[in-house]
Amino acid sequence: MIRVGLTGGIGAGKSTVARAFSERGAYLIDADVIAREVVAPGTEGLAELVAAFGEDILDPDGALDRAALAARAFVDDDSRKRLNAITHPRVGARTWELIQSAPDDAVVVQDIPLLVEGGLAPMFHLVVIVWADEQTRLQRLTEQRGMPADDAAARIRAQADDEQRRAVADVWVDNSGAPEAVADAATRLWDDRLIPFEANVRAGVVAESSVSRPSGPEADGIAERVTNRLRAVVGERAQTIERDSSVDGVGLRLAVADDEAASGLIAPLTEAGFPRVDGEGHVHGSADPGRPVTVRVVTVG
């Protein structure tokens, strides 16, 4: 199993990519759907919201009136924190429940609108950003969703900017053109990269890379993203994680206390997409055919 984080700014069209993945067999988890599910009529989540913000947040049918909730919950930091304390744990628990029920060979695609803003990128094997220029997004929001132009512009600017998204993007999908073009790009990504990536992780083997070894700023970006991923996986077991200049392309040096600690990282690194290279001691490679990386685990004790 691998987990793919899918995100993009409002109006970028990530639903088109999510649909293309689903048609190819993705196990899709939509954060917006879960957020609505955990506060549906009759749930403990909705009852807590009413207790915190009053009966006025309900519509005549007893369902949550999201505009009314926003008017009360986003007036100050304390109110926002109260809202998050009610909803976020429930969304997280339901998401984890769905992940646990996924098949062993699943490509789990988690559609998360605020993945970048929430600092969630290191939790995924791969992050896919769907992008469209601001003018295209404004046009989609006003013409297709009927959103007032000022409201659309405000929502776009309240989210992460392109630079922040590029910093966490393993894959950048340009959706400024026709829907069929981005759907085709998503299908190629699925067939050429995601399916082999998942199979390699499950088998615990290093990928035969389909791309040339990166260099310059591209290599720097990959190294930073992989470093963040490794930190999320190994935590305090790693004393340091640094670039390894002896490696052609992207190499990282992960220092641990002793051989026992190094051996203890084999399974979690493999599950994270970095299986051990056969015959190379504690050297790990990338299971992702689109991202050649070497991770050398060394002992410093």
Same-domain pairing of 220 and 166: no
Q: Which position has the token pair 């995100």?
A: 7
Domain membership flag for residue 206:
no
Amino acid in the structure at residue 231 = R
Quick: pLDDT tens for 149-190. Answer: 888 898 898 899 999 999 999 999 999 888 889 999 999 999
Q: Is 286 annotated as a binding residue?
A: no
Domain membership flag for residue 160:
yes
Alpha carbon 206 to its chain centroid, in Å, reads 22
Q: To the nearest whole percent, how much of the chain has pLDDT over 90? A: 83
Q: Is 11 annotated as a binding residue?
A: yes
* Axis-axis angle for helices 44-53, 77-100 (nearest 10): 180
Number of domain units in the chain: 2
At residue 73, the pLDDT reads: 86
Q: Is 13 annotated as a binding residue?
A: yes
Domain membership flag for residue 11:
yes
Same-domain pairing of 85 and 7: yes
Domain membership flag for residue 211:
no
pLDDT higher than 80, residue 301? no
Domain hosting 229: range is 216-299
pLDDT higher than 90, residue 266? yes
CA distance 58 to 65: 5
pTM: 0.91
Domain membership flag for residue 143:
yes
Label residue 203 exposed, middle or buried (CB < 10 Å: 0-12, 13-18, 19+): exposed
At residue 131, the pLDDT reads: 95
Same-domain pairing of 186 and 262: no
Same-domain pairing of 231 and 95: no
Distance in Å from the first CA to the final CA of the chain: 34
Q: What is the mean pLDDT of the chain?
A: 94
Classify 127 as helix, strand or coil: strand
Element (H, E) at 269: helix 266-271
